[in-house]
Structure 1
Amino acid sequence: DIKKSNGLLNIGHWDSLELNDSQASFYIWAKSLESNGVKSFFTARVLENSGNIKHAVKAYYATLVHFPKAFCWGRDLSFVWYVAPAAIDHIKRLCRDYPSLGIELIDEYIDIKNGDDTDATNDIITVNPGRLVKVDENKARTKLSDLDIIETRGNGEVQLVKFSNGDWQIQVDGKPYFIQGVTYNPTRIGLGPHNDPKFFSSWMFSDVNNNGIIDAPYETWVDNNKNGKQDNNEPAVGDFQLLKDMGVNTIRFVIPNDPQDKYDPSLIDKELLRDMYNDYGIRAVMTDYLGAYTLGSSADWATGTDYRNEDQKKKMKEVVRQKVTDLKDEPFILMWVLGNENNLTIDYNGVNASRTNAANYPIEFAKFLNEVAEMIHEIDGNHPVAIGNMGTGLMEYYNEHTPAIDIFGINSYPGKEGFGEMWDNVKRYYDRPILLIEYGCDAYDQKFGINEEAQYVYHKGNIRDIIFNQAGGSFSGNAIGGIIFEYLDEWWKDTSGNPEDLHQNNPQFPMSFPDGFSHEEWLGIVGQGSGKNSPFERRLRKTYYLYKDIWGY
């Protein structure tokens, strides 16, 4: 009665998930008008939030058994979200994180065909809810050294090996290498791709103070007391040292094209990248967009890159050939990545629109990917080739048409709990090692402002999931690492007409982030303060120290 008189029971059921009062939230969901499957799932979520873990597992499992076809729409109706795969993920996570339960889910399986579109009527769903069984306490952890290698991709310096238990691992010079990466593009405040023709490589040559030293890699300093100025006890350390201290062994680097959309070797400071590798132990994942954002194809932005167009494909392939030929013997190379979210639909026009017709012509796109990957392997036998994909979309086409692709690179932002059934689905339908090429969370909340804690919690759940799914673990065994998006805030990403020299707080689009939105200018685990000391000032967020604890030496 007290809750009712205070109006607590009158708030919306979605908003109730943020309440600290689980009893009220439980009641609100019980009387909501959502479908029974959606109600069942979020009732389980409330039970989990209240600490009733055993009951939460039962409720998630009931959702899986009784409502495997249930779904709800995204906030802006741009996607359909299914409860059954999420229920499986939550059960596995809780059994993993609460070993005192003494149970695990086995033999579960769900397949949702046509689930990537917004037509819920064409879905074909196959499900086996599996069983909750007691954990075998005598089951030993897998020792990879005791297993045979049954498949090797590549025969040079960097290889992918598959063990007899189905686990995948990346090896460099015969030794395991787990990718601990960041997207590194330290954009100076006031600059962006709209006003900087050398956007992807300007940081490699920037010397704002004219002292002969490159700014971001060597001269950045940490504003520990956040007073906006460099104090005597805040010496210049440089980003490369900050990355090394954090435990980073890999950066993601986009190989730039010149203004004529061709490859110009002078746009890359090879000596700088060699120093990054030799002195700091950091390698590079080298990316060509392969027509995303019309880069490489020179297509018109309105129509986008067309993977049926022979002239465009010839141009893209030639640009890749020149890049690989020029860079293949550099010591800092770890792998090549083709594309970045090219599978996004052509009718999407948001800030991250990739502007290709790959989703409309998946066979043509997949065959072209394979053609380019085969060319790379002919030129460079030392480094593997990955796709840069948004989620697992088009996976069935890749499985059929891209035998030359070595790694499934995925951009994914699923939520703070991790990546769900992605690991098992890839293992089942496209048996390749998985590299999370992008994952992360913004540090701004629409309700609370700057929220480092929420970003920290999100990243913690994600990196735990990646580590748990590496080779030799108790789960899927196909994770070879992850690349955080991103190292440093970029202030140009609000494209609503605001200038690049203001740190905007506007939400760009709905996202599975703490407040339900992505603030694209706040995705860094490091900030730039007020911006007046750019490109030098760094403010290390709580998430930076999370990775330093996990990855650091």
Structure 2
Amino acid sequence: MKTNFLKFILFLFTSAVLAQTANVSVVNNEEGMKLVVNGNDFMINGMNWDYFPIGTNYSYSLWSQSDAFIKEALDAEMSLLKNMGVNSIRVYTGIQPKWIQYIYENYGIYTMLNHPFGRYGVMVNNTWVPVTNYSDEATQKQLLLEVSEMVEAYKNTPGLLLYLLGNENNYGLFWAGAETEDFPDDEHEKQFIGENRGRPMYKLMNDAVLKMKSISTSHPFAICNGDVLFIDIIAEECKDVDIFGVNMYRGISFVDAFQVVKEKLNKPILFTEFGSDAFNTIKNKEDQKSQAYYNLANWKEIYENVAGQGKAGNAIGGYTFQFSDGWWKHGQTTDLDIHDTHASWANAGYKKDYKPGKNNMNEEWFGICEKGPTNSRGLYKLYPRAAYYVLKEVHKINPYSEKTTLDNAFKNIKIKNAVLLARNEKENIVKSIKN
């Protein structure tokens, strides 16, 4: 009886701790830069996560479905993420605070809440403006209002980790749509866009951070940039931003990114998107081994550059892109039930399927998990790829532990074993569905 009573008291205590809003801060000391959560060093082992059944696109919202449907979908996905060792997901505004809390209390996974900050357009004076003009006074007022309302609504939410503004909005200054394209090569054009459209945007981002900090200081504020383009302007205009978030696809290595961000900004670097697709354009078929190879190498570099590891010391983690395939990404409004194999942009950093003059990046194949067909209720199964099992081993590593030797830890992760695991697990899932 006494044992049961003690267990009950422990349960109440644990529940009370989990229900509290986290106190999250950035610490910069002689070892380097760290994210600290409730007094403990926190390495972000994150994942870009969303929920789009095959046949749907960006117009679909999980959060407008019934609570029972949302709960069932979350339970299936978050159990896989927890098993993988993911401790934070990147989610756009639209998720209600109760689901951030649900994910955290049931799976121990924090949420980085992402406001697009006009990346895909903005509603100004009841009119939709598809290409955001950050110099426009009415647009500025609207975006500042939106982020202020966001912080007011979410600031006391258990499970909230940090706020993120934008999604490579500097690229959006060149592109009219959301689909990734090859970037212009003309340096004069880049400089002109940076000064005339980029500088007002970055200044407004900093104004937004100041506005949000006047409402809450219990969580850090980050921006999401496309690589380090316009970093000199960022250094001048975004002095109050806590974390430099970056979507970066450089292939096997981030090269000088850590040192550049340290020298130019003196802020922690958070990889808000990175990774590899699982389709080989040369072989014209799925390539799980290559996807796992690039993701493993990227995570190793991130770990090597955390505080105390002897390198740049400014990495605080990352969010792998992405948990499951986005079947709508290539055409966005057409062929939504076709897993498109057309590569939409070129990147020489991914040498395993790169040919000069040919695109090799397949937007619909970035999933760490393969997406299965949707059932009659609108739910679907996921089939973990080899990268899932590789990252599961990566996320077990604690770079802040004195006992951790990164070279040995990463050397013990075998991609060949992960490929076999993925193959066997898919066979087991298919069998269980048939039975």
Instruction: Name the structure 1 match of 2:321.
Output: 485
Match of 2:379, SS state, is coil
Q: Are the equivalent residues in 2 in contact too, given 1:187–1:535 (CA < 8 A)? A: no
Match 2:82 to one of 244, 249, 267: 244
Structure-1 separation of matches of 2:138 and 2:371: 42
Deviations 1:58-109 (A, max 9, x none): xxxxxxxxxxxxxxxxxxxxxxxxxxxxxxxxxxxxxxxxxxxxxxxxxxxx
Give the match for residue 272 of structure 2: 437
2:291 equivalent to 1:452: no
* Same amino acid, percent of matched pairs: 29
Structure ID, larger Rg: 1
Instruction: Report the CA distance between 1:289 and its aligned residue.
Output: 1.0
Residue 233 of structure 2: SS of its match in structure 1?
helix
Number of the residue aligned with 1:475 = 311
Equivalent residue number for residue 32 of structure 1: none
* CA distance in structure 2 between the aligned counterparts of 1:248 and 1:320, rounded to whole angstroms: 27
Q: Give the CA deviation at 1:412.
A: 0.1
Q: Note the alpha carbon deviations across 1:293-325, whole angstroms, 9 max, x for none.
A: 114556533xx2111100011011111111110
Q: CA deviation at 1:519?
A: 0.7
2:302 alignment partner, one of 461, 466, 481: 466
Instruction: Kindly indicate whether the alpha-carbon contact (under 8 Å) linking 1:299 and 1:305 is maintained by their aligned counterparts in 2.
Output: no
Deviation at 1:397, TM superposition (A): 1.4
Separation in 2, partners of 1:359, 1:523:
33
1:547 equivalent in alignment to 2:404? no
Is the 1:345–1:359 Cα contact (8 Å) retained in structure 2? no
**Alignment pair present for 1:161 and 2:27:** yes
Q: Is 1:216 the counterpart of 2:51 in the alignment?
A: no
Distance (Å, rounded) in 2 between the aligned partners of 1:536 and 1:524: 14
Which of 346, 362, 368 is matched with 1:510 structurally? 346
When residues 497 and 333 of structure 1 are mapped into structure 2, their CA distance, relative to the original with a 3 A threshold, is closer
Distance 1:365 1:174 in 2: 34
1:344 counterpart SS class: helix
Runs of 4+ in 1 over 4 A off after TM superposition: 210-213, 296-299, 530-534
Q: Secondary structure at the match of 2:262?
A: helix
**Aligned counterpart in structure 1 of residue 114 of structure 2, from 287, 290, 308:** 287
Aligned residues of 1:345 and 1:358 also touching (Cα < 8 A): no
Question: Which residue matches 1:526?
Answer: 369
TM-score by length of 1: 0.61
Aligned match of 1:535: 379
Instruction: Say if 1:343 and 1:390, in contact at 8 Å, map to a contact too.
Output: yes
- 1:220-235, aligned counterparts within 5 Å? none
Question: Which runs of no fewer than 5 residues in structure 1 stay unpaired?
Answer: 1-155, 219-237, 257-267
In 1: Cα distance, 2:123 partner to 2:298 partner: 32
Given the superposition, is the C-alpha separation of residues 425 and 521 from structure 1 closer, same or farther in structure 2, using an over 3 Å criterion?
Answer: same
1:495 to 326, 331, 335: 331
5 Å-filtered alignment, 1:293-442, equals: 293-295=120-122, 300-301=129-130, 304-344=131-171, 346-349=173-176, 351-352=179-180, 360-416=196-252, 418-442=253-277
CA RMSD, 1 decimal? 2.5
Residues 477 and 326 (structure 1 numbering): CA distance in 2 closer, same or farther, change over 3 Å?
same
Q: What code does the residue aligned with 1:203 have? A: L
TM-score by length of 2: 0.77
Alignment of 1:246-265 (within 5 A): 246-256=84-94
Q: State the AA in 1 paired with 2:168.
A: E
State the AA in 2 paired with 1:306.
N
The separation in 2 between residues aligned to 1:359 and 1:444, in whole angstroms, is 37
Please report how far the alpha carbon of residue 204 of structure 1 lies from its aligned counterpart in structure 2 after TM superposition. 3.7
1:187 is matched with: 52
Counterpart of 1:171 in structure 2: which amino acid? V
C-alpha offsets along residues 321-372 of structure 1, whole Å, 9 cap, x if unaligned?
Answer: 111101110011111111111111634356137xxx6663333222211110
CA deviations 1:491-550 (Å, max 9, x no partner) are 111117642111111111112333231111111100113566863211100000011112
SS in 1 for 2:35: strand
**Alpha-carbon separation, structure 2, partners of 1:360 and 1:515:** 37
Change in Cα spacing, 1:515 to 1:497, as seen in structure 2 (3 Å) is: farther
Give, as a single letter, the amino acid of the residue that structure 2 aligns with 1:215: E
CA deviations on 1:406-430 (whole Å, 9 max, x unpaired) are: 00000000012x2110101111111
Q: 1:395 to 1:244 in 2, by over 3 A?
A: same
Matches of 1:333 and 1:391 in 2, distance apart?
A: 25
Instruction: Return 5+ residue gaps in structure 2 as ranges.
Output: 1-21, 182-192, 355-359, 398-435
C-alpha contact 1:246 1:544 (8 A) present in aligned 2: yes
CA contact (8 A) 1:206 1:215 kept: no
Against the structure 1 CA distance between its residues 284 and 296, is the aligned structure 2 distance closer, same or farther, given a 3 Å change threshold? Answer: farther
Distance of aligned partners of 1:315 and 1:205 in 2 relative to their CA distance in 1, 3 Å threshold: closer
* Distance change in 2, residues 1:405/1:497 (3 Å): closer
Larger proportion of helix: 2
Amino acid at match of 1:352: T
